[in-house]
Structures are given as structure tokens and as C-alpha cells.
Amino acid sequence: MSAVLSRKAAIGLIVAGLVVLVLAANAHLVYVAVTSQPDCVAHLKQGDARHSDSFRAAKSACSPGAGS
């Protein structure tokens, strides 16, 4: 019966380790998403009528009027 308990304990430790690993990875992804600021990229401006069927930024963080 001791071998069964040690096997269950080993499986439990492996599962707990995997859960901790997944939680740590998710925490890292949230941290990177919150702290990073992507560089400005070229996009359509509001008055650009040549590309009326294209998408543009809803609120550009790179425009001269945007606050820091």
C-alpha cells in the first residue's frame, strides 16, 4: 500500500507542478501585455479617402494630438 501512496503522491506533485507552470506562464503573459508599448506603425489617417474600404486605427497613440 505504501507504493500506491507514493505513486499517487508523485502524480499529485506532477499535476501541481504543471498547474503552477501554467499559472506562471499566464502571469508572465499578462505582465508583458500590460507593460509593453508597441512601436508606432504606418496606418491610414482619418482624411485619407483613397482607401475607403480599408481599416484604420480607431485612436492612434502615435498621432501628434495624442497624450503621452
Residues 15-67 pLDDT 10s:
999 999 999 999 999 999 888 877 777 666 666 556 556 666 666 667 655 44
> What is residue 64's predicted lDDT score, i.e. its pLDDT?
59
CA distance 29 to 37: 14
What's the domain count of the chain?
Answer: 1
Q: Say which residues have a Cβ less than 8 Å from residue 44's Cβ, sequence separation at least 6.
A: 51, 54, 55, 56, 57
CA distance 44 to 54: 8
CA distance 55 to 15: 45
> What is residue 21's predicted lDDT score, i.e. its pLDDT?
98
Flag whether 19 is in a domain. Answer: yes
Does the pLDDT at position 68 exceed 50? no
Flag whether 29 is in a domain. Answer: yes
Flag whether 11 is in a domain. Answer: yes
> What is residue 51's predicted lDDT score, i.e. its pLDDT?
56
Flag whether 55 is in a domain. Answer: no
Q: Quick check: pTM over 0.75?
A: no
- Structural domain that includes position 29: 2-37
Flag whether 67 is in a domain. Answer: no
